């Protein structure tokens, strides 16, 4: 217990400058204050105040359980627990991630198949300035490589800016950036989506209807994503935003550039998360040192989370670095939930903690989530910022006082960037019109996600979500198009069933 108090004190000291915004309030009051807009900027303070409040509550048997368990060092956990936890949040959480990923892909593919305005070609955008209308293949490859490097330059710059902002504690800038991104996404992209749909379906819609729809959907989206809202609606908005962004990407990325970008960004994800000097890893470690939750950004989570997650996305529309909030009761040795999400998403596995779904495409969004129950300590809930950076996984340690019989509380988090890049891959796979290719890529993406979650459970640290899935997807795409495709075409023509 004393160590817990000590760590609480640490939290208070570290976040002292931020506490001035938020008074020390009892649990109920904190929940009330967190509903105000002010809390958005003082999420860290609220986080610390939450952390402060946790052990005080005597009725919170879960926190007391947590206190008891906090004394247990990690090594005392028997090996069985590892396996248990692998299996505990195994199958059902994987499926809980399958459904939103599949929904996002479905929205993207349906839109592409029914409307013609989201097909590539036409305008280019600033991030990939070279077109691919070149006479020879060599030139195409060269210009695609140039496009890829420019794009990756933007990504890396955005990540570095985010990390610098985070290191120098410019939280307000990050929050503002995040809100601006969501605003643009929810209003502008939605408006253009409706316009494209009505143009493609040849149904004129008057301006008043479109503005009414966009305004309402956008405002509700801002509320749900940045503040509080029903879980399903939050999830729906996050999926919708990922789908919109994936469509924009798909429209503007030239063909070969798209494939190269997918490959390079998986490698970047791997480097940034796993290398000791990688930016995302630095972000995670900084957050750990400060004992702060990283800005929860665009992260899709499957359960409600109690903590206030601050999202800190960079202003870069495409890339929002995700900062990971590692909230611990104080000591690093306690469960660390790191969800590091750079531009993309990361997967957090919360054991026993309800997680809020936060997703945003590129920018981290700051969320203040009202805890449904005040039982769960904040520290157990990882906060993550999701951006379009490579996704990372965060594994919560089993030290968290998660009630064993409470499966519903355990949620999984996946960064929005992962949604976006998976959907882009599948959109490009479906562009050929061959459904075998689409199904093969879909299956490989899901199996990659499954494997990544398995690795997450085994290694229990932040892992990138993109590399395995994208590798499987790319390998199966090219092999299905060039090798399996002709074989199955030959078989189908003659109705030979193997």
Rounded CA separation 177/230 (Å): 24
Residue 406 appears among annotated catalytic residues: no
- 483 binding another protein? (CB under 8 A): yes
Tokens 């359980």, located at residue? 65
Which of 70, 269, 337, 380 is labelled catalytic?
269
- 489 binding another protein? (CB under 8 A): yes
Q: In this complex, which beta carbon is closest to another protein, that of residue 45 or of residue 112?
A: 112
Can you tell me which of 17, 149, 435, 459 binds another protein, judged by CB under 8 A? 435
- 491 binding another protein? (CB under 8 A): yes
Q: In this complex, which beta carbon is closest to another protein, that of residue 43 or of residue 480?
A: 480
CB atoms within 10 A of CB 136: 8
Which x/- pattern over 447-476 shows residues binding another protein (rule: CB under 8 A)?
x--x-------------------------x
Contact 331, 421 (CB under 8 A): no
- 285 binding another protein? (CB under 8 A): no
> Which structure tokens are listed for 342?
């750079």
Minimum distance of another protein from residue 13's CB (angstroms)? 39
DSSP states of 206-223: -HHHHHHHHHHHHHHHHH
Can you tell me which of 248, 446, 468, 474 binds another protein, judged by CB under 8 A? 446
Residue 418 appears among annotated catalytic residues: yes
- 95 binding another protein? (CB under 8 A): yes
Minimum distance of another protein from residue 7's CB (angstroms)? 29
Can you tell me which of 84, 146, 169, 184 binds another protein, judged by CB under 8 A? 84
Alpha helices in 168-254 (DSSP H): 171-183, 190-200, 207-226, 231-252
Rounded CA separation 363/322 (Å): 7
- 434 binding another protein? (CB under 8 A): yes
Contact 376, 445 (CB under 8 A): no
> Which structure tokens are listed for 372?
């449904």
Q: Which stretch binds another protein (CB under 8 A): 12-20, 77-85, 181-189, 273-281?
A: 77-85
> Which structure tokens are listed for 445?
């993406």
Rounded CA separation 199/201 (Å): 6
Can you tell me which of 267, 407, 455, 471 binds another protein, judged by CB under 8 A? 407
Minimum distance of another protein from residue 354's CB (angstroms)? 17
Can you tell me which of 91, 142, 219, 275 binds another protein, judged by CB under 8 A? 91
- 404 binding another protein? (CB under 8 A): yes
Contact 186, 240 (CB under 8 A): no
CA distances 238 to 181, 203, 246, Å, are 13, 27, 12
């Amino acid at each position: 217990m004393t160590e817990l108090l000590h760590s609480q004190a640490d939290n208070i000291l570290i976040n002292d400058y931020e506490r001035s915004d938020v008074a020390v309030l009892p649990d109920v009051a904190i929940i009330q204050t967190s509903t105000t807009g002010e809390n958005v900027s003082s999420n860290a303070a609220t986080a610390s105040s939450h952390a402060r409040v946790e052990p005080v509550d005597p009725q919170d048997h879960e926190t007391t359980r947590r206190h008891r368990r906090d004394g247990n060092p990690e090594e005392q956990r028997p090996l069985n627990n590892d396996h248990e936890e692998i299996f505990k949040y195994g199958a059902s959480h994987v499926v809980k991630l399958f459904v939103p990923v599949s929904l996002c892909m479905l929205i993207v593919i349906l839109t592409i198949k029914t409307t013609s305005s989201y097909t590539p070609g036409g305008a280019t955008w600033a991030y990939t300035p070279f077109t691919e209308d070149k006479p020879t293949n060599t030139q195409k490859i060269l210009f695609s490589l140039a496009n890829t490097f420019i794009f990756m330059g933007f990504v890396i710059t955005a990540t570095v800016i985010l990390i610098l902002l985070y290191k120098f504690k410019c939280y307000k800038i990050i929050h503002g950036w995040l809100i601006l991104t969501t605003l643009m996404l929810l209003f502008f992209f939605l408006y253009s989506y409706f316009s494209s749909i009505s143009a493609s379906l040849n149904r004129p819609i008057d301006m008043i209807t479109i503005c009414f729809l966009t305004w309402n959907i956008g405002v509700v989206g801002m509320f749900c994503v940045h503040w509080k809202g029903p879980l399903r609606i939050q999830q729906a908005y996050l999926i919708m935003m990922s789908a919109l962004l994936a469509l924009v990407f798909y429209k503007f990325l030239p063909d070969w550039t798209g494939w190269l970008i997918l490959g390079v960004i998986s490698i970047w994800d791997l480097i940034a998360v796993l290398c000791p000097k990688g930016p995302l890893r630095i972000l995670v470690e900084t957050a750990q040192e400060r004992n702060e939750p990283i800005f929860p950004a665009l992260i899709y989570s499957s359960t409600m989370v109690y903590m206030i997650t601050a999202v800190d996305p960079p202003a870069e529309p495409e890339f929002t670095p995700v900062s990971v909030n590692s909230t611990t009761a104080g000591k690093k040795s306690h469960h660390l939930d790191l969800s590091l999400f750079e531009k993309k998403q990361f997967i957090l596995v919360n054991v026993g903690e309800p997680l809020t779904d936060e997703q945003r495409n590129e920018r981290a969004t700051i969320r203040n989530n009202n805890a449904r129950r005040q039982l769960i300590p904040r520290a157990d809930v990882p906060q993550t910022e999701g951006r379009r950076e490579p996704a990372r996984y965060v594994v919560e340690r089993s030290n968290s006082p998660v009630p064993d019989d409470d499966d519903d509380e355990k949620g999984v988090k996946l960064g929005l960037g992962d949604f976006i890049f998976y959907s882009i891959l599948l959109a490009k796979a479906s562009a050929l019109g061959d459904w075998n290719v689409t199904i093969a890529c879909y299956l490989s993406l899901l199996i990659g996600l499954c494997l990544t979650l398995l690795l997450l459970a085994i290694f229990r640290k932040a892992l990138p979500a993109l590399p395995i899935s994208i590798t499987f997807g790319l390998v199966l795409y090219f092999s299905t198009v060039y090798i399996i495709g002709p074989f199955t075409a030959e078989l189908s023509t003659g109705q030979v069933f193997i």
